[in-house]
Chains A and B, each alone.
Chain A
Amino acid sequence: MGIFSGLINGFSIALTPVNLLFAFIGALLGTAVGVLPGLGPAATIALLLPATYAISSPVTAIILMAGIFYGSMYGGSTTSILLNLPGEAASVVTCIDGYKMAQKGRAGAALGIAAIGSFVAGTAGVLGLTLFAPKIAGFALSFGPPEMFSLALVGLLMAVTLSGASVIKGLIMLAMGLLLASVGLDPISGKTRFSFGVIELQSGFDFVTLAMGVFGLGEIFTGLESVMKTEIVTTKVGQVWPTVKDWVDSRMAILRGTLIGFFVGIIPGGGAVISSLVSYALEKKVSKHPEEFGQGAIEGVAGPESANNAASSSSFIPLLTLGIPGNASIAMIFAALLIKGVTPGPFLIQEHPEVFWGVIASMYIGNVMLLVLNLPMVGIWAQLLRVPFGILAPVIILFTAIGSYSIQGQAFDIYSLVGFGLFGYLLRKLKFEPGPLVLAFVLGPMIEGSMRRSLLMSGGSFLIFVTHPISMALIGLFAFLVLGQALVMFRKKPAVQT
């Protein structure tokens, strides 16, 4: 079956009233649950997964799942922008400028541009998936341990660009993030690190608990410092829609973000987060006003959000063509399909063409639905900021606590959440930026694990990182960026001293 006839077939399945309805329900449910603080996309999908068991048709079930997936990603962006609560690693970058925009009363513009960027990137991603999926599937497999190491190293460097004014403080945050990531079972030696005999620490900390703690609770504790009653962000909702200038400013950022997200997002295990980092760093680099980044630059929202969403489309490529789930959310969709008796992989298109094309067609529809659903909602979400602090703050705490608890079902994670909240409060007092901390936490296991795996493979030779072409190119990029930055700083230094 050709692509064209396949797509026609797919749309004829996806456009039946029942499937259309489930695509809508999925997008709605995903957004509604994903927007709750404390529930990231992975948790949202896990919670809503049982809903798909009741549906007998595998196509309808997967259409519902895809809707939930897209919806939860967008819902996660909403909490990142409005409340500084990233539900997954890839949204951390969105928080930085998105939340600043919300504080300045431009929440509507940030949410609007995120919705439009997500739609453009998501649709372009599905288009790429339709046209090139089998041809570029091999790219996902070309990343072995040495390539992953070099990629994660570049990602870590990008994370430093989020560190704000002080490079030393940024590096301290990176180190802290790497350290927090090493708590728990070391998969390579089987040894448990920094658990001090506490069984709950053996599995390490969860990303959501850490991010909700340092971002969300840290923010609330800081807000509690003032004796006066305060609002959590600002009661200024301002203009709800992005202005023409916003649109012109972010146009290219959306395009670049889409391209980066599509290609980097194919790489299993960390593609999405690295693509959003790369997009942010690139936008900052090409911008005429890089000093606005970190203070509420709309490109800093548009680029990473688009990258993130293009990546969520392209992360379906390894799943649908190779049967490889690239991240936790996709792994759950994989499981839902298996239970329905459908095995995603190279035979999917032959054994179940209706599933393959139905899913792809419903991804196009899902993206449209999300836009239709969310653009009118932007105004309503932005009104959320009008809820008084005295109610919003404890409710956020309750949600994040229950969200953390639900991941592993242990009260210990609520204590961790409080601990990270206090830590986040301390960081704010000392003017540290928590972004690099949580990103290093995500990239840490990738860097450490893939370095040790590479050295096991090479028998201890570091040449493995430069004899593999992709890895060598990435190491070259890393060296170029570091040297370039060092040169800039070297030239600047005398000027500061005078």
Chain B
Amino acid sequence: MKKTVAVLVAMLLASAMFPVASMAGDAYPSKPITGVVPFGPGGSTDLLARTVEKFWTKYSKEPLVIVNKPGGGGVVGTEGVVRSKPDGYTLYFGYGSGHDVVMPSLQKMPYDPLKDLVPVARLSIHSVVIVTGANSQFHSIKDMVAWAKKEGKPITTAVSVKAGAVDLALTAFGKAAGIKIVTVPFSGGAEATTALAGGHLMIGGGHPCEIMTHIKAGRFRPLAVALPQRDPSLPDVPTLRELGFDVATWGSIKGVAAPVGTPKEVVAYLGGTLKKITEDPGFRKAMADMNMPVMYEGSADFGKFLKQATADYLALIRKLNITIN
């Protein structure tokens, strides 16, 4: 009896001491940093984070370890970061995704994505590209709008998920063009892309990193980009504004954040390290291979940008009168 109690006490002490032992000592970072991706492995955010992980040790003495905490459309993992200790050892990868900038306008959140997180840096923007199958009769947005108006028929559109960045952009486009766009939500970008590749829907929307293989294979034809400016990964594709439709969204933003209260010098260190990584030729090539444009912004600029993006999405949702009841 006594022996077991003694052993138990020893165990308790041992597990209590682990964090203490590693925290004592020199300047930040003194132990590996955890990067939380609130989505599953293999998704675009995961790929981005893993690529950063690969180059991280080149510029920092402690490694970055990426962990996936999917669930609740990203909310569960992000909330985990929000509730973690603001010591710079728990970061959130994917800041600016749908559940940060779109979801708060549609439903109650367990935290405030703008107030409870400190932006560290923006890494990339995944724009919304409107595409059609290669066998489609539509060769341009103009063709499509003319057809829809003449026939009076709806355009069936594959989108990754209801009320996500792609769905919003295409719904907004339908309204601006005065045609009926029926968005058909799938369970994620891969499913939507597969259905469109099979020619089961007329058009579709997606992020370049999801659809570029099909564009290069000639299975998809890109028609327009729903960004304010052209997407660096698709420089030949016009924006909707250029085509005369006043529709622009921010797509899905991919940045890094830390819990609010993280010391300024830690945020600066992290932002600086990420800046060096985004300038690394190896990193830029890896990103180009995955069709993710590198669009770095430091903490202050990124913070302003996110506020603007959130406000823009809120305005768009109000305008389109989208609700999730």
Considering residues B75, B110, B190, B194, which has the most beta carbons from chain A within 10 angstroms of its beta carbon? B194
| A190 → B minimal CB distance (Å) | 4
A434-475 to B contact mask, C-beta < 8 Å, 1/0? 000000000001000100010011010000000000000000
| Bound Cα distance A203, B70 (Å) | 8
A46 to B68, CA, bound (A): 9
- Which residues of chain A have C-beta atoms less than 8 A from B163's C-beta? 190
Q: Does B72 contact A (CB under 8 A)?
A: yes
Q: Are B75 and A202 in contact (CB under 8 A)?
A: yes
C-alpha gap A256/B195 in the complex (Å): 29
Q: Tell me how far the C-beta of B47 lies from the nearest C-beta in chain A, rounded to whole angstroms.
A: 6
Chain B CB count within 10 A is highest, among A46, A185, A457, for A457
B1-59 contacts to A (CB < 8 Å): 40-43, 46-47, 50-51, 53-54
Chain B residues positioned under 8 Å from A67 (CB to CB): none
**In the complex, what residues of B have CB within 8 A of residue A200's CB?**
71-72, 76
Is the beta-carbon distance between B106 and A143 smaller than 8 angstroms? no
Minimum C-beta distance from B38 to chain A (A): 10
List of A residues within 8 angstroms of B51 by Cβ: 339
- A201-227 CB mask vs B (1 if < 8 Å, else 0) is 011000000000000000000000000
A387 within 8 A of B: no
Is B201 interfacial (CB 8 A cutoff)? yes
Report whether over half of chain B's contact residues are helix, strand or loop; otherwise say mixed. mixed
Cβ of B289 and Cβ of A199 under 8 Å apart? no
Residues of B within 8 A of A409 (CB): 67-69, 77, 80
- Give Cα distance in the complex from A189 to B187, angstroms: 11
Q: Is A57 interfacial (CB-CB < 8 Å)?
A: no
Q: Are B185 and A202 in contact (CB under 8 A)?
A: no
CB <8 Å contact, A144 and B42:
no
Structural contact, B76 and A334, CB atoms closer than 8 A: no
Contact of A187 among B69, B110, B162, B286 (CB under 8 A): B162
| B71:A324 contact, CB within 8 angstroms | no
Contact with A along B63-94 (1 / 0, CB 8 A): 00001111111011101100000000000000
CB of B237 within 8 A of chain A?
A: no
A203-B76 contact in complex given A53-B54, A408-B70, C-beta closer than 8 Å: yes
**Structural contact, B156 and A457, CB atoms closer than 8 A:** yes
A323 touches B214 (CB 8 A): yes
Contact call B290/A338, Cβ cutoff below 8 A: yes
B141, CB-defined interface residue at 8 Å: no
Contact A187 B324, beta carbon cutoff 8 Å: no
- Within 8 Å by CB of B42, from A140, A141, A143, A325, lies A325
Which residues in A have their C-beta under 8 angstroms from that of B73? 185, 202-203
Assembled-state Cα–Cα distance A470/B79 (Å): 44
B contact residues around A345 at 8 Å (CB): 213, 216-217
Q: Which residue of A lies closest to B322 (CB)?
A: A190
Contacts of A322 in B (CB 8 A): 197, 217
Q: How many contacts A-B (CB < 8 Å)? A: 140
Judged by a CB distance under 8 angstroms, whether B186 is at the interface is yes
A187-B187 in contact (CB<8A) = yes
A347 to B214, CA, bound (A): 10
Complex Cα distance A269/B187, Å?
11
| A200-B72, A322-B197 known; A189 vs B217 contact (CB < 8 Å) | no
Complex interface: chain A residues within 8 A of B244 (CB): none
Chain B residues within an 8 Å CB radius of A140? 194
Chain B residues near A459 (CB-CB < 8 A): 154, 182
A394-416: CB near B (< 8 Å → 1, else 0) gives 00000000000000111000000
> Closest CB-CB distance, B111 to chain A, in whole Å?
10
Closest to A409 in B: B69
Check B161 for interface membership: any CB of A closer than 8 A.
yes
A403–B302 alpha-carbon span in the complex (Å) = 37
Indicate if the CB atoms of B71 and A189 lie closer than 8 Å. no
Interface hub of B40, B53, B70 (most chain A Cβ within 10 A): B40
Separation of A474 and B214 alpha carbons in the complex (Å): 29
Residue B175 interfacial (CB < 8 Å): no
Contact between A347 and B217 (Cβ–Cβ < 8 Å)?
yes
Find chain B residues with CB under 8 A from A186 CB: 162
Cβ-defined contact, A457 with B217, below 8 A: no
Q: Which of B41, B154, B185, B195 lies in contact with A49, CB distance below 8 A?
A: B41
A130 interface contact, C-beta 8 A: no
Query: What B residues does A390 contact at CB under 8 A?
Result: none
Asked whether A456 and B324 contact (CB < 8 A) given A188-B162, A190-B162, A203-B72, the answer is no
B198 at the A/B interface (Cβ < 8 Å)? yes
Q: Scoring A residues 129 to 152 as 1 if CB is less than 8 Å from chain B, else 0, what string do you get?
A: 000000000001111110000000
Any chain B CB within 8 A of the CB of A335? Answer: yes
Q: Within the assembled complex, what's the spacing in Å between the Cα atoms of A53 and B51?
A: 10
Complex interface: chain B residues within 8 A of A332 (CB): 41-42
How close is A326's CB to chain B, nearest CB, in angstroms?
8
B310 at the interface (CB under 8 A from A): no
**Chain B residues numbered 109-165 whose CB sits less than 8 Å from any CB in chain A:** 110, 154, 156, 161-163
- Which chain B residues numbered 192 to 229 have a C-beta less than 8 Å away from chain A? 193-195, 197-201, 213-214, 216-217
Q: Other than the known A269-B194, A457-B200, what 6 A-B pairs have Cβ atoms closer than 8 Å?
A: A144-B195, A185-B73, A189-B162, A190-B161, A191-B324, A345-B213
8 CB < 8 A contacts A-B: A140-B194, A141-B199, A187-B185, A199-B79, A408-B69, A409-B67, A409-B80, A459-B154
Name the 4 nearest CB pairs between A and B, nearest first. A144-B200, A190-B162, A141-B198, A335-B42
Q: Which residues of A contact B (CB under 8 A)?
A: 46, 49, 53, 140-145, 185-191, 199-200, 202-203, 268-269, 322-325, 328, 331-332, 334-335, 338-339, 341, 343-347, 408-410, 445, 449, 453, 456-457, 459
